[in-house]
Amino acid sequence: MPQQVDASRIGELKEAVSGALDEAESSGASQAEADASLQRGLTATVRLGEVDTVEYHRDRGLAVTLYFGKAKGSASTADLSPTAVRETVLKAAAIARQTAEDECAGLADPQELARDIPDLQLHHPWDIEPERAITLARECEAAGLACDARLKNSEGATLTTHSGVRVYGNSHGFLAGLASTSHSLSCALVAQDGTDMQRDYWYTVSRNPRALEAAASVGQRAAERALARLGARRLATRRAPVLFAAELARGIFGHFVGAIRGPSQYRRASFLLDAAGQAVFPAFIDIVERPHILQGIASSPFDAEGVATRDRDLVRAGVLQGYVLGSYSARKLKLRTTGNAGGIHNLLVASGQAGSFQELLARMDTGLYVTELMGQGVNSVTGDYSRGASGFWVEHGQITYPVHELTIAGNLRDMLRQVVAVGSDVDTKGAIQTGSLLLESMTIAGE
């Protein structure tokens, strides 16, 4: 087995980062930062009971950024030896000396940096042998295929385990490291009835392997979803309420986050331009960021710049409270960083109009329940939204039949305002955690 990647490796990464910062000071840089990482992973894929692929992933790297005044240069290397670190710093310095100054460039302000770094229990290694990984993938796929004779094919089952260590340091005196893990198991099956063939999938993901769904359960869920899509019909074009499954609703809120990110705002390329302080959702919607959830998929005590992460209300009673900012975008907007360099940290959607999935179906009465989206027809500047979709037609609060070959369209700004309810069936497998999302209406293009 490859050498472990865990907290015991933080020391050697700190040496590499400290060495880079020392070299940067010797080069005359006014500021510097360095980020070093070690990664290790295993992926095993089985299809129709046969081993498809078994892959080990190993990676290491060091990225260095130097500032000479407001001029910036960056370079990276996969070699952490002192000689390679020195050469990388010299390359970054050479680049910085040739670049134009940018008044907003530079490290995060010292007072923003994390000082108390809590243990968020992000590292739960799974030293699983390839043979065991293959066995679990086979068990997952076999459980799904055994559900029904109409399950005639498979795109396979995949088990992945990943462990990583990262250390970040800068010339303000910040130097800290984290070890983290991520594990997943997925299965995609194909159901066939005559000439009708339908595919669907399911997956489980967690930082702790003991928190994963059972392998057989994942396969059976994939089977149920594929079988339910047999006999799919097309719809005539219409406007109707739309209910997004929880795992897809996350994407709608992802478009919202993209629109309020610092770069979208300072580049004037957002459908929510200058929206801070405005009502962008109905008053019953709250969205909060909780970076310190134990074992959270997107938890972190500090961001990519070493800035301390903190709980914050992003949307309160439907009103946008602020943007998602790193130091550079904050300076461009003359604001303060929100500790989001590198992304968001556990965004939780809460609703005063929450209900169970069945209650949301009853409230919708008649409309489209979307379980799959296709294509990339989203304009982040105008908010225009148009994507291929499939799912189920609902009448009188009951799922009646599967539908496919549809396009759903609307404008994201209107869609956010027209949220009717958010379900209590919260999907926790991503950085954004939300239940099913019911919208008042969208255009559904079919036959």
Q: Do residue 247 and residue 177 come from a single domain?
A: no
Structural domain includes residue 2: no
Q: Are strands 151-170 and 285-289 parallel, antiparallel or unpaired?
A: unpaired
Give Cβ neighbours of residue 147 (< 8 Å, ≥ 6 apart): 219, 220, 223, 224, 227
The 10s digit of each residue's pLDDT in 377-429 is: 899 999 999 999 999 999 999 999 999 999 999 999 999 999 999 999 999 99
Q: Do residue 215 and residue 251 come from a single domain?
A: no
Structural domain includes residue 53: yes
Residue 232 is given by DSSP the state -
pLDDT at 4: 66
Give Cβ neighbours of residue 68 (< 8 Å, ≥ 6 apart): 28, 29, 30, 93, 96, 97
pLDDT at 434 over 60: yes
Tell me the mean pLDDT in the region 112-133.
95
Structural domain includes residue 205: yes
Q: What percent of the chain has pLDDT over 70?
A: 99
pLDDT at 278 over 60: yes
Q: Are 227 and 151 in contact (CB under 8 A)?
A: yes
Q: Do residue 269 and residue 187 come from a single domain?
A: no
Q: Do residue 156 and residue 25 come from a single domain?
A: yes
Closest CA to 3 of 37, 27, 39, 29: 39
Q: Do residue 75 and residue 223 come from a single domain?
A: yes
Structural domain includes residue 233: no
Q: Do residue 307 and residue 161 come from a single domain?
A: no
Residue carrying structure tokens 């997004």: 244
Tell me the mean pLDDT in the region 234-242.
96
Return the H-helix or E-strand segment holding 402. strand 398-411
pLDDT at 126 over 60: yes
pTM: 0.94
Q: Do residue 250 and residue 199 come from a single domain?
A: no
Give Cβ neighbours of residue 71 (< 8 Å, ≥ 6 apart): 96, 97, 99, 100, 101, 102, 105
DSSP labels, 27-69? TT-SEEEEEEEEEEEEEEEEETTEEEEEEEEEEEEEEEEEEET
**Domain around 308:** 238-445
Closest CA to 6 of 181, 133, 174: 181
Tally of structural domains, the chain? 2
Would you place residue 373 in the very low, low, confident or very high pLDDT band (cuts 50, 70, 90)? very high
The packing angle between helices 215-228 and 130-145, to 10°, is 40
pLDDT at 2: 45
Identify the three-state secondary structure at position 156: strand
pLDDT at 62 over 70: yes
> Average pLDDT over the chain, rounded to whole?
96
pLDDT at 50 over 60: yes
In 171-210, beta strands by DSSP E: 175-193, 196-206
Q: Do residue 115 and residue 201 come from a single domain?
A: yes
The 10s digit of each residue's pLDDT in 7-45 is: 889 999 999 999 999 999 999 999 999 999 999 999 999
* The domain boundary residue, chosen from 189, 208, 228: 228
342/360 Cα distance (integer angstroms): 34
Q: Do residue 271 and residue 188 come from a single domain?
A: no
379/426 Cα distance (integer angstroms): 27
* The domain boundary residue, chosen from 228, 257, 292: 228
402/392 Cα distance (integer angstroms): 4
Q: Do residue 170 and residue 278 come from a single domain?
A: no
pLDDT at 99 over 90: yes
Tell me the mean pLDDT in the region 230-257.
97
Residue carrying structure tokens 């700190």: 14
Tell me the mean pLDDT in the region 229-246.
96
Closest CA to 98 of 122, 128, 74, 82: 74
Structural domain includes residue 414: yes
* The domain boundary residue, chosen from 199, 228, 257: 228
pLDDT at 212: 97
Number of helices (H), then strands (E), in the chain: 9, 17
Structural domain includes residue 181: yes
Q: Do residue 214 and residue 283 come from a single domain?
A: no
Would you place residue 1 in the very low, low, confident or very high pLDDT band (cuts 50, 70, 90)? very low
CATH number at residue 166: 3.30.2290.10
Q: What percent of the chain has pLDDT over 90?
A: 95
Structural domain includes residue 278: yes
297/440 Cα distance (integer angstroms): 31
Closest CA to 424 of 436, 433, 406, 408: 436
Structural domain includes residue 1: no
Q: Do residue 263 and residue 192 come from a single domain?
A: no
Q: How many CB atoms lie within 10 A of CB 127?
A: 11
Helices (H), 261-326: 262-266
203/59 Cα distance (integer angstroms): 25
Q: Which amino acid is at 147?
A: C
